[in-house]
Structure 1
Amino acid sequence: MPGSVLVAYGTTNGSTAQIAEAVTEVLRKAGLTAEARPAGTVASVESYDAVVVGGGLYAGRWHKDARRFVRRQGRELARRPLWFFSSGPLDATASERDIPPVPGVKKAMARLGVREHVTFGGCLEEGAKGWVARMIVRNGKGGDFRDFTAIEEWAARVAADVQEEPERR
């Protein structure tokens, strides 16, 4: 059974990292070997059977580390089962309806054969890095809109898909 899964992520204030850690924990509980790593620290994906990539959304774009990772590792990512998630809306919309991927992510999905993409609510709280982020919080538009039940349910589907992979060959 293949079972080595990388969960790579791009984050500025840590919210997407916490989602990646939650996904990783579910994968481990399902019996897979999984690790969450900042996308900028991953030199190669060759030792992984499957990959999940997550990026925080900033001004309609995925975090630069997630974008760069996908570009750098594209050839190897295309050879593996691959899932994407985005983190970002600072309201309840991600819990209320499916939010499609932003254009750059959609393009990468088509190029790499991504199996699924999901957008989770984001989190922006006091102490956030960046002038824009601080202004959002100061204007009362911040908060934690992550739904960890939905995150765990999605991760369980990913785990089941990874475990079924040998049967597809």
Structure 2
Amino acid sequence: MPANVLVAYGSTNGSTAQIAEAVAEVMSKAGLTAEALPAASVEDVTRYDAVVVGGGLYAGRWHKDARRFVRRNRRALAARPLWFFSSGPLDPSASERFIPPVPGVRRSMTRLDARGHVTFGGCLLEGAKGRIARMIVRNGKGGDYRDFPAIEMWAAGVAGEVIEGRGQD
């Protein structure tokens, strides 16, 4: 029976949600049962064999829904394979070099023994929600810096780890 994988995400304008959906799609193609869900809507993680949590970055912090999800489910998350991703830089830096997790994510990784973290470029386009987001776009600092081939490669690596771990059970 394929492993069930949850890809929970916190997203305001949909960019992180699209990354989560791409991650779940790659995992499904690898033979896992994977679903991407808004972190705020997930009530029970115990039916999943592995979890990926993603959050958009806002002023150096993970999206509030991702933070709350991790806090609310910390015991269940600590008992299963766990990975994190962040999305946010509005420049090509995430494709050019390793960007470490922000301090709050790093602390959660340590506490929950997460197996990995990656930061992907963000996306902020015309029509974005929030006063600051609209100001960033208006000042010409927005754009789409997501690298979907890199996202898919990372997701395939995570899927491989989940599959390999299932064979050891």
Fold equivalence (TM over 0.5): yes
In the alignment, the residues of structure 1 paired with residue 2 and residue 140 of structure 2 have an alpha-carbon distance, to the nearest angstrom, of 46
Number of aligned residue pairs: give it. Answer: 169
How do 1:78-157 residues align onto structure 2 when only pairs under 5 Å count?
Answer: 78-157=78-157
User: 1:110 Cα shift?
Assistant: 0.1
How do 1:1-169 residues align onto structure 2 when only pairs under 5 Å count?
Answer: 2-169=2-169
In the alignment, the residues of structure 2 paired with residue 69 and residue 130 of structure 1 have an alpha-carbon distance, to the nearest angstrom, of 22
In the alignment, the residues of structure 2 paired with residue 2 and residue 140 of structure 1 have an alpha-carbon distance, to the nearest angstrom, of 45
Gaps of 5+ in 2: none
Gaps of 5+ in 1: none
Give the CA RMSD over aligned residues. 0.8
The percentage of counterpart residues that share the same residue type is 75
**Normalising by the residue count of structure 2, what TM-score does the alignment of the two structures yield?**
0.98
**Normalising by the residue count of structure 1, what TM-score does the alignment of the two structures yield?**
0.98
SS in 1 for 2:70: helix
Query: Runs in 1 of length 4+ with deviation above 2 angstroms?
Result: 166-169
Asked if the contact 1:2/1:49 (under 8 Å) is kept, the reply is no
Asked if the contact 1:32/1:159 (under 8 Å) is kept, the reply is yes
